[in-house]
Structure 1
Amino acid sequence: MRLLAGLAGLAAVAAAAGWLLTAPVRLDENAVAQGPGDALRGARIFHVGGCASCHAAKGAKGDDRLKLGGGAVLATPFGDFQPPNISPGADGIGGWSLADFDNAMRRGVSPDGRHYYPAFPYTSYARMTPGDIADLFAFLKTLPAVAGQPAPGAIAFPYNIRRGIGLWKHLYLDAAPVVTLPASAPAAARAGQYLVEGPGHCSECHTPRDGFGGPDRARWLHGGPDAEGKGKVPGLTPTQLKWSASEIADYLKTGFTPDYDSVGGSMVEVQANMAELSDQDRAAIAAYLMAVTP
């Protein structure tokens, strides 16, 4: 009886510890973004972050890319993830506060206190500044409201146990920069680091993942299998890409490679977003990629 009681006590302690370790953790009130943001500045972050690529209808062009009612399903080995409606209407984020938005972006926590799945790249957005979060929120509020919600995705067991994402976050959710740039790194490379590692979330596709779906930082931007099983995503380190900084920047602007091939696959959407940026931002991204050590 004593043994059974002891085991029951240990099980209760383990369950309580597990519950605490997997709990969604919000931003401290002193760290959360403060408004009002600037919608004009937020437009830049919108394009860097590629919001339309996931949350607008597949193949949307022109102004339809600003209708963020939910895009195409992301099919992965862990299940099918459906991007939600993030338009400023009642079916989107119309009822959200800036704090709700910031916790979603930088902590992967929904307004009702649930974990978001990391198909939403908050592991990258965690590196964003509160000011950029506020600006992006202000810009989203200017977009058309879209009615309705897309059908939910289908997540495989055991990944459909959403609470378990709390443990995953302990391993992979980190707001610190990934690459340690040398002291001699130019200002452009440091600006590019923020864009690539933060809102641009380039690593989400261009860094291989481990068995738990987390980014393998030891092979940062080394490329790997496409998350949807459609071939491989190329590496972006200098020895893999073998492009000059000007060639990288030009590709992001025009969609043409140095040998005059054109952008293809899922990169078509990304390049369309990058083309909306300034030459200075594209040059900064290129400078950072040239500084990444293989």
Structure 2
Amino acid sequence: MDTSLFVVCLLVAGLVVVVGFFLSAIKIVPQYQRIVVFRFGSCIGQKGPGIVFLYPFGIDRAITVDLREEVREVPHQTNITKDNASIGIDFLIYWQVVDAVKSVLEVNNFRQAALGIATTTLRAVIGDIALDDVLAQREHINQVLRTKLDETTERWGVKVTAVEIREIVPPREIQEAMTRQMSAERTRRAVVTEALGKREAAVTVAEGEKQAAILSAEGKKQAAILNAEGQRSAQVLVAEGFAVALDKIYDTAKNVDEKTMSLQYLEVLKAVGTSPSTKYIFPLETLKFMEPLAQMAGAAMQSK
């Protein structure tokens, strides 16, 4: 009985050892990581992602490397420009490991090394640029820093993807001068804006007056045209009426005989002659109207 129990214990212990062996030899590597494997102290390359088998008991040693892009802040640094102005700068570095083996073999701590290189590179770049250019050419400085850092970190298997200057702090006297300049610029813009507003208002008023004058002139012109048209139409109507009247008078006169005309003429003379203080001289042609009357009188005498 004791022998059987001992054998069972040995089997269980052996099973535990085997399971532990396999568990310690199996490593699951995520997609964003790689492991650099050293066997008996020699690098045999990188493995992953997925399930990776490693020899246990210290035969294989694995160093995990993250391949995701990282960002590091470079602390505030005081730098001297080309024209001997002291400015403070802090910036961010974005990098990514592209070769896991180089990042382990070529440098002890690539993160710390990259920060040190960034600091010295920044001093060198700023030392070649005047203060005004530093303040105005931030993007250019970012590009120069990224290029120089990438040239250095490339041998470590690290790619510098971007450099971003966050803040540039010029000396106090420069800040005060910039403040005065900004205030003067705002004042100038306010004056220019006010002048432009007044000019636009004057132009608008003048344009309105011009349009009003044009409309008034157009109205007077149309009124004059309509008045002339009315007068012309009235004169035409009067002339037409007069012509019609003359036509009717002419038609009536054609149907009246000489005797009737003579009688009418005598009636007119009678009415004219009623005024005692008026003297009238009649032309010889007037006597022609008397001939029909004389003939009528002669005929009457003969009939008696």
Q: TM-score range by the shorter chain?
A: under 0.3
TM-score normalized with structure 2 length = 0.25
